[in-house]
Amino acid sequence: MTAGPCIAIDAMGGDVGPAAIVAGVGRARRKDRALRFHLFGDEALIRPEIDRHKGIAEAVAVHHAIDAIQSSEKPRQAIRRARTTSMGMAINAVKDGQADAALSAGNTGALMAIAKLALRTMPGIDRPALAALLPTLGDQDLVMLDLGANTECDAQNLVQFAVMGAAYARTVLGVDAPRVKLLNIGTEELKGTDELKEAAALLREATYLPFRFSGFTEGDQLSRGEVDVVVTDGFSGNIALKTAEGTARFVTDLLRRAFTSSLRSKAGFALSRPALHMLKVHLDPNNHNGAVFLGLNGLVVKSHGSATPKGVANAIHVAAQMVRNDITRKIGDDLDEFRAHAFAGEAAK
């Protein structure tokens, strides 16, 4: 069997630690036998978990780390001791060519800071962005970025995010020419900040790139399935993401409360169970797990801290899919095309 993608994993990240991480590795390995893994963390805790899952020991190399990044740790503190932590060692495995991608469920700010310092940004990218898939009423999810890596962005940042997000959509969603929109307070061209208006103007001119820019969208339209990539700054993106997740929990909790309020409601629950199960599956964050730091010279995937083994496995599959589709090269090619046209335009002026 040809060796498949090799994923370096911070086994100590997340709320559950090695138990959920290794179980997720086992689940991913059963679905994709070509996958290989480097696990970084406390070997005394990791080895017993590996023994609980048959068939993965042959695909896993364990590397002992004497320390782990804490959830409350500030990025600057994390950077100073990254080399001895499970998170830092996983990222360095990508830097050194030992792994094709890194994955962690740990501290997002620390992960971003360590990854940016170790891997550096790609040529043509000023700032990396955090991208993730959100569920919609359409046939597929949508890609949204930035989700918190950059609280303030200028027009060039937003354009770069659009290029990266479109490449991600082509890779993960399989859309040849993704529909791209900017998140705004209205769909009219005159609305929004100067940065949004300038970014929109630049994207409208970039008809040579492999995506379709179609203006602005509002927050209440994110779930409609009418767009493939939504671009925004990290401040607005993180608020939108947390609001969507909170709304999903509110709806499911409200339904649970309604269906247990009386005997008649319980009978209705029995009849509605198939539809409610479909709703639960659609809204379950574990089915959409795996946010990606785009714009780095290496692949880094962020898992939910509370992800179940199913969620961890989904994040692993996202990483493997990006490795196989060579998303870093695709982003680089699109950025080269954009810069070449921009340079030609400036020369003509």
Instruction: Let me know whether 60 and 178 are in one domain.
Output: no
122 touches 333 (CB < 8 A): no
Cα distance between residue 214 and residue 250, in whole Å: 32
Is 348 among the domain residues? no
Given pLDDT bands bounded at 50, 70 and 90, which one contains residue 1?
very low
Q: Is the pLDDT of residue 141 over 60?
A: yes
Q: Looking at the structure, do residues 113 and 149 belong to the same domain, yes or no?
A: no
**Choice between 148 and 342, residue whose per-residue pLDDT is larger:** 148
Q: Looking at residues 308-323, what average pLDDT do you find?
A: 91
pTM over the 0.75 mark: yes
pLDDT one-digit tens code per residue, 101-135:
999 998 888 999 999 999 999 888 888 999 988 88
Q: Do 259 and 316 fall into the same domain? A: no
Residue 2: per-residue pLDDT: 55
In a domain, 342, yes or no: no
Of the chain, the percentage scoring pLDDT greater than 90 comes to: 47
Q: Is residue 343 part of a domain?
A: no
Per the domain annotation, does 173 fall within a domain?
yes
Q: Mean pLDDT of all residues in the chain?
A: 86
* Section 21-43 average pLDDT: 93
* Residue 345 within any structural domain of the chain: no
What whole-number percentage of the chain has pLDDT above 70? 89
Same domain, 235 and 301: no
Residue 332 domain-assigned? no
Q: Which domain holds residue 69?
A: 1-123+295-324
Does 300 map to a domain? Answer: yes
Mean pLDDT across 130-144:
86
Q: Has residue 221 got a pLDDT over 80?
A: yes
What CATH number is attached to the domain comprising 55?
3.40.718.10
> What are the C-alpha distances in Å from 224 to residues 36, 228, 319?
37, 10, 26
Instruction: Name beta bridge partners: 299.
Output: 101
- CB-count burial class (<10 Å; 0-12, 13-18, 19+) for 215: middle
